[in-house]
Structure 1
Amino acid sequence: MKCVQIILVYAFVCCYISVASAQSILVDDTKNAQQLVENVLVNSSCATISNTVATGDDYSSSAKSYAYFNAGTSNFPFKEGVLLSTWSSQNSVGPFVINRGGGDSQWLGDSDLEQALNLTQTKNATVLEFDFIPLTNFISFNYIFASNEYQDYFPCAFSDGFAFLIKEKGNADPYQNLAVIPNTLTPVSSMNIRPTISNFDTGDGIINGCSAKNETYFGGYNNSSSPINYSAQTIVLNAQTNVIAGKLYHIKLVIADDQNNDYDSAVFLEAGSFLPKIDLGPDRLLSTNNPICFGESYTIDPKLASTYTYKWFKNNQELLDTTPTYSVTSPGIYRVEVLLTPNCIASEDIKIEYTPAIDLKNTTLAQCDDNNDGITVFDLTKVDAIVKNNLGNLSMVAYYESLVDAEAQINSIPNPSYYTNTSTNQAVFARVTNSFGCENYAEVKLIISNATISIQDPISTCDGDGIEDGLTEFNLNTQVTPQIVTGLPAGSIVEYYSNPTDAIAEQNQLSNAFINTVPNQQIIYAKILNGPDCYSVTPITLKVIQFDPPNFQEEFLFLCEGSTISLTVDTGFSNYLWSTGATSNSIRVNSPGEYSVTVTNGNGCQQTKKYSVTISGIATITGVKTNDFAGKENSVTIEYTGIGNYEFSMDGSFFQDNPIFNGVASGEYLVYAQDKNGCGLSLPFVVYVLDYPLYFTPNNDNYNDIWQIRNLNTLPKSTLFIFDRYGKLLKQLTSSDIGWNGTFNGLQLPADDYWFHLNFENGNKIKGHFSLKR
């Protein structure tokens, strides 16, 4: 059911009216099937109609679900026509009022509609059917599908069905449905034509919406000013098909509710739109990419019997031709009027446009011949732009050896950029198409160039890349080209290759910035081009002059603060130029930086020597950090400032790179920092390393009789406390005291372990123990 988990309260307003408001359609359900078909839908003597039948609402008293409608003064797209609906046709009168629908559960559906649209069960079917004999080969009619299914989330899940069914009378084949989305087999419905549907809140939960589908054909939602009582509708659609003139067809127009009789739908058929028509095919327009090619003729063929009477018109001017077909040779709007019967004329027009002319240009292409046999390699693509005559929007050029092949599009030259001619003065043919597929041809004559130029002087350059190996870079455009083109036709272009074969084929072209691959001297080949044509191929000799003075590698020097150093190169060169502007072979500098000197020899070749000067100086020791009372873990870290590269010593003899010394014994030291770059030694810095003895032997032998911390006087505000193993204070010493002799109150203490606390001025404390031995 369409009301899954939804409680919807609608006020159902059913208005049976004989006169509608000024903004609504008018509905008349008094006409019978024959009147609706013959007088409204067809309304022409050009159709043979029989066996008209209409069925629908049999449960609403005198109300009918099929009727005649008129737009009245509303803006409804059709002035009049036939209305088929799934409820009383009078309910279709606008404006739109939200409602749940009409119909009746006993009002049955239609099996042909179900089969055509692959529906499982339909209800409330309305059918208008009749037999029809066409006089032409094409029929169509215009219609609008409207529905109250365009509410809430319904277009995502439910869809009423409409079909225009046709087949030959008496044929057992299934019906063909013409009510489909253009250029598809998809039936027209609220599910297949819809805008984006948002998620819907039922109050008990959210039902997901869905994306738009064929939205181009959606006509929009309705409101209280709508001329019809439906929530939305499609745009004007057209149903059409080819038929065979003179055959008897059965046509069935049917609409029904899908699964239940809620939320009704309708189809509005335009009056007079169902007629035999002439199908002249689509308009041939530039805008739709199907115009007629320039210079071609196009036959307009109505595909009707030659026994009919024909009139042809161009731009509303009658032509003399009365033939069944007409051959077009110029653009215009063409119309044919065909007298089918004494009282029936069928007419149709077609717009014809032509493409602009593809004005190609015949040309010649000259190529050089390295052995004068008349056979060489041509790059046909070089004349592509000339052949196209600078026209835009054209295809790539395809080349053929004969015009017959070009016109038949067979045996194209597979690699036009590398084509070997088969004879002298041969011609090939170019085929080009425009964006519409129209084609034209041009002839390209292939000729051999016999021009020669004078022998060229060798081109010499210095080996100036810093590696004296006889290999260096030549700028071919600036060093070689000006010499070659002197006296040649203006606009000549020169390309360079390693060998004549590559030059002829224009393959593996050398870069303008060319580094010779053969040391000292190499021959390359210059190809002179005059436009797309080869003028000549000539050899060019490249020479490399080497200049490699000794001791010209870069030097890295150190400058001590406050001093100068000399930068010097050998004498004997013709010219010197330092980066400072000096022109002698030697300069003195007093500041760090990058310096260079460029020397020139008698051949004009140059070499550059670089100097990198770095400042250095004597270090200043600013302090020393010590790790004391750690035994073998005692360490000294030298703190310093300076701009040099330093090594360090604690005795003035042994130096190391690391300013940290580990495993230092207690005692007094002089530490130094020395500049590795030779700028000198720092002033000495005194440092004391403190530690305590692990035992003492107070036996009056004048050796190790006193337990003391050496150099404690360097910490004058420190205090030392000595305890026995039970924590009893035995002695308090200051930094000026000599030490402890192992007595307490004048009595010698026994051999044992004793403890000390050393308190520093900054609050730090050292605790440890030592042994008294006797």
Structure 2
Amino acid sequence: MKVYKSILYCVLSVFLSSKIQAQFISIDDAKNASELVNVLTNNSSCLQISNETVKGDTHTSAKNSYGTFTNTSSNFPFKTGIILSSGSSSNASGPFIRDFNDGNNSWLGDTDLNQTLNINSVNATVLEFDFIPLTNSISFNYLLASNEYQDNYPCEFSDGFAFLIKEKGSTNPYQNLAIIPGTTIPVSSFNIHPKIVFNDGCEAKNESYFGQLNTNPNNNSPINYAGQTKILNATSSVIPGKTYHIKLVVADDRFVYYDSAIFIEAASFNSEIDLGEDRLLASNNAICYGENYIIDTQLPPNYSYNWYKDGFLLPLETNPSYTVTSAGTYTVEVTLSPSTCVATKDIKIEYTPQIELKNSSLSLCDFDGNEKETFDLTQADTSIKNNNTSLSEITYYENILDAKNNNNPISNPLHYTNQTLTQTVIAKVTNSYNCAYYAELTLNVLKTDNQLPANIIIAVETTNFGGDNNTATIESISNGDFEFSIDGIFYQKSPEFTKLAPGNYIARARDKSLCTESVPFPFIILDYPRFFTPNGDGYNDYWTIKNLNTLPQATIRIFNRFGKFIKEFQSSNLNWNGTLNGYLLTADDYWFNLIFENGKSIKGHFSLKR
């Protein structure tokens, strides 16, 4: 967009001797439409060109707003090509001179450009032609140069340009190919610029596509524009044999000042073969190890095809597509008809590193005979991953079809119940490139019907007299993959059980590797009252040790707090009524010593209250 600023720019740049000797682009603005298109296509027979037209500056005598350019400077990326400008193309030769540029309100804009960019254009230059592609893709290289790259103009204003394409005769709107890659945003000085600090300025936009400013007085720019983008590529998929119309147009928006130009590289407009993007590790789209990849030209089978890998001909490969099984640089050489021109295209294919998973298995014993067990599938994770910690967490599926389609994953792999006595589930894992790999996990439920109980438990060590906080530790034989229980229902890996209340228990152990169960091993947790009140009211009149009747060989001895022996009785006579030789003893603390049959003893104390 052009705007007339109230600030007077009357001081022009002075040509220094070094600038006079500098290398600038040279412009030939006497070319007709056919000559311009021939430069774009390099007279390629892979495109059938017709109906070329060009129009532009109608008010400047002996000057055109289009032409060809030649460049010998290393400061400009194109050697030759064509230029379309919103001013006289001959003014494009450098160095940059700060000026209003030229233009005229009688030089009209372009309605298709207005509709595409929603602008009100003036001073339009338009190159149009029809073409029939023989391949499935066309593209050309270009850059935008503009005098809008001054002061804070990129924050507010922008000229318009577009590369428009549609099927000839179609009533559909044009498609604009001059867009920022990966977006639908038109390329312009408003949409591509560095951070602007002049006046209030503005933040950078799409700066990675900006090339350079040419406004520095010491910058011997080969072109007479304040700034330019990097080389951009306009590309479009096409259908071989169809007729398309191309319209290349650049114009000012509303105001005729501060011109812009499109530089298009010579020979860059051509039929191309679209093989897709390179599949590289660096871009995280390499082919997964072990997979095949089809390179498809999507071109007619009547063309002639040669395929190469790393420069060597693959003599048996003459089809429009090729199936890749290993890394390399692949080239297709296609002889197109009816023109008999030859088009080539390369694509580089890399593979992700090999991942080796291991099939694994888990086995549980069917101790209850119902043929169902609860498996912790994650116990096999490390084995399946083959100790490769870089892989993702494993997701389990009941079949390979669900695994490959990401359907119905096992929701709780920590508690999975088997469906059959022997069942295979699928483990799915991905690497850092999101490649999926699969392994089998076999679940075995082992029958125990004919197994006899084994003498697995040696003893049970208990702590007693702890209220509801007693412990029991099951001692077993040394060899075996054991799990333990004291209620016959819940089993655990640890042989120690805590927070046990007084009572009778049965210890059990089972060997998961041999699917054998132990002979039940009874044990007791003892407790005693911390006080008793022998007053004859029928409540708490006697002191005893709970459950002692299960240990008939135990002996209890009672002492007063000074250590004087008071009473001894066997477990068959459990009660003491607080007397000595028929006399009532005084309220006090008393001690006891419980002696088991094996000689082990436990001491404790209690209170007699009256």
- TM-score category (smaller protein): 0.7 to 0.9
Comparing 398-407 and 305-314, the one that deviates more: 398-407
State which of 351, 363, 372 in structure 2 corresponds to 1:375: 372
TM superposition shift of 1:540:
9.3
Aligned to 1:235: 230
Pairing 1:6-45 to 2, within 5 Å after superposition: 6-11=6-11, 21-45=21-45
- Correspondences of 1:410-449 after superposition (within 5 Å): 410=407, 412-434=409-431, 435-448=433-446
State the TM-score, normalized to the length of structure 1.
0.62
Structure-2 separation of matches of 1:107 and 1:387: 74
1:489-528 equivalent positions in 2, closer than 5 A? 501-503=489-491, 515-519=498-502
- Find the partner of 1:336 among 313, 318, 332: 332
Please tell me the residue identity of whatever aligns with 1:70.
T
- Supply the distance in 2 between the matched residues of 1:357 and 1:604 (Cα, whole angstroms): 65
Letter in 2 for 1:426: Q
Q: Distance in 2 between matches of 1:346 and 1:540?
A: 89
Distance change in 2, residues 1:196/1:487 (3 Å): same
Report the AA paired with residue 61 of structure 1. S
Matching residue within 483, 488, 502 for 2:479: 488
Task: After TM superposition, give the deviation of residue 352 of structure 1 in Å.
Answer: 1.4
Residue 587 (structure 2) aligns with: none
Cα shift at 1:362? 1.7
Q: Distance between the aligned counterparts of 2:521 and 2:36, measured in 1?
A: 94
Distance 2:255 2:221 in 1: 26
Name the TM-score, length of structure 2 as normaliser.
0.77
CA displacement 1:191-247 (0-9 Å, x = unmatched)? 11122233x43xxxxxx4332222221223223222222222211111111111111
Which of the numbers 194, 217, 220 marks the counterpart of 2:212?
Answer: 220
Distance 1:88 1:219 in 2: 23
Distance apart, 1:605 and its partner CA: 6.9
**Letter of the structure 1 residue corresponding to residue 221 of structure 2:** S
- CA distance in 2 between counterparts of 1:600 and 1:68 reads 116
For residues 602-660 of structure 1, the C-alpha deviation after alignment (integer angstroms, 9 at most, x for no partner) is 857799xxxxxxxxxxxxxxxxxxxxxxxxxxxxxxxxxxxxxxxxxxxxxxxxxxxxx
Separation in structure 1 between the aligned mates of residue 51 and residue 419 of structure 2, nearest angstrom: 76
How far the C-alpha of 1:442 sits from its partner, in A, is 2.0
Deviations 1:267-292 (A, max 9, x none): 11011110000001122222323322
CA distance in 2, matches of 1:191, 1:378: 62
Letter in 2 for 1:437: C
Q: CA deviation at 1:52?
A: 1.4
Code of the aligned partner of 1:157: E
Matched, 1:139 2:134: no
In the alignment, is residue 102 of structure 1 matched against residue 92 of structure 2?
A: no
CA distance in 2, matches of 1:540, 1:14: 110
Q: What SS class does the counterpart of residue 39 from structure 1 fall into? A: helix
- Per-residue CA deviations over 1:295-317 (Å, capped at 9, x if unaligned) read 32222111111111111000011
CA distance in 1, matches of 2:312, 2:414: 53
**Corresponding residue number in structure 2 for 1:76:** 76
CA apart distance, 1:68? 0.9
- Alignment coverage as a number of residue pairs: 533
Judged with a 3 Å threshold, the aligned counterparts in structure 2 of structure 1 residues 168 and 423 are, in CA distance, closer, same or farther, namely: closer
The structure whose Rg is larger is 1
Q: CA RMSD in A?
A: 3.7
Q: What is the rounded CA distance, in whole Å, between the counterparts of 1:110 and 1:404 in structure 2?
A: 57
- Which residue pairs with 2:463 in the alignment? 461
SS in structure 2 opposite 1:337? strand
1:670-694 per-position Cα deviation (integer Å, ceiling 9, x unaligned): xxxxxxxxxxxxxxxxxxxxxxxxx
Looking at structure 2, the residues matched to 128 and 2 of structure 1 have their Cα atoms a distance apart, in angstroms, of 22
- Given residue 488 of structure 1, which amino acid in structure 2 is its aligned partner? N
**Displacement of 1:332:** 0.9
Are the structure 2 counterparts of residues 273 and 549 from structure 1 closer, same or farther at C-alpha, using a change threshold of 3 Å?
farther
Aligned partners of 1:20 and 1:26 also within 8 Å: no
- Look up the match of 2:541: none
Matched letter for residue 178 of structure 1 = L
Structure 2 counterpart of 1:271? 266
Q: Distance in 1 between matches of 2:121 and 2:495?
A: 78
Judged with a 3 Å threshold, the aligned counterparts in structure 2 of structure 1 residues 178 and 405 are, in CA distance, closer, same or farther, namely closer
Tell me which amino acid in the other structure corresponds to 2:478.
Answer: G
Amino acid at match of 2:369: N
* Cα offset, 1:544, TM superposition: 6.5
Q: Helix, strand or coil: the match of 1:516?
A: strand
Unaligned runs of 5+ in 1: 202-207, 551-568, 574-598, 608-774
Distance in 1 separating the partners of 2:604 and 2:212:
83
Return the offset for 1:500: 5.3
Q: Which residue of 2 aligns with 1:125?
A: 124
Distance in 2 separating the partners of 1:540 and 1:176: 87
User: 1:6 deviation in Å?
Assistant: 4.8
Q: CA deviation at 1:346?
A: 0.7
Paired AA for residue 354 in structure 2? A
- d(CA) in 1 for partners of 2:603, 2:118: 92
Deviation at 1:45, TM superposition (A): 2.3
Which fold has the larger relative contact order, with Cα–Cα distance below 8 Å and residues 6 or more apart in sequence?
2
Structure 2 CA distance for partners of 1:5 and 1:408, relative to 1, 3 Å: closer
Answering whether residue 350 of structure 2 is matched by residue 348 of structure 1, we say no
Shift of 1:461: 2.6
Alpha-carbon distance in structure 1 between the residues aligned to 2:28 and 2:380: 74
Secondary structure at the counterpart of residue 417 of structure 1: coil
* CA drift at 1:377: 1.6
Contact 2:486-2:505 at 8 Å conserved across structures: no
The alpha-carbon deviation at position 393 of structure 1 amounts to 4.0
Q: Distance in 1 between matches of 2:394 and 2:528?
A: 50
Task: For residue 161 of structure 1, report the CA deviation from its aligned partner.
Answer: 0.8
Distance 2:221 2:593 in 1: 99
Matches of 2:159 and 2:592, distance apart in 1: 97
Which residue of 2 is the match for residue 554 of structure 1? none
Spell out the pairing of 1:572-721 with structure 2 (5 A cutoff): 572=563
Distance in 2 (alpha carbons) for counterparts of 1:97 and 1:480:
95
**Alignment correspondent of 1:317:** 312
The DSSP-based 3-state class of the residue aligned with 1:426 is: strand
Distance 1:544 1:22 in 2: 106
2:159 corresponds to which letter in structure 1?
D
In structure 1, the residue corresponding to 2:300 is in which secondary structure? coil
* Cross-structure match for 1:652: none
1:582-610 CA distances to partner (integer Å, 9 max, x unpaired)? Answer: xxxxxxxxxxxxxxxxx998857799xxx
- 1:548 CA drift (Å): 6.6
What is the letter of the counterpart of residue 96 of structure 1? F
Aligned mates of 1:160, 1:324 — CA distance in 2: 43
Q: What is the deviation of 1:381?
A: 2.1
How far apart, CA to CA, are the structure 1 residues paired with 2:167 and 2:206?
Answer: 31
- Note the C-alpha offset of 1:360: 1.9
Taking the aligned partners of 1:4 and 1:548, their CA distance within structure 2 comes to: 104
Match of 1:384 among 381, 384, 387: 381
Measure the CA separation in 2 of the matches of 1:426 and 1:59.
86
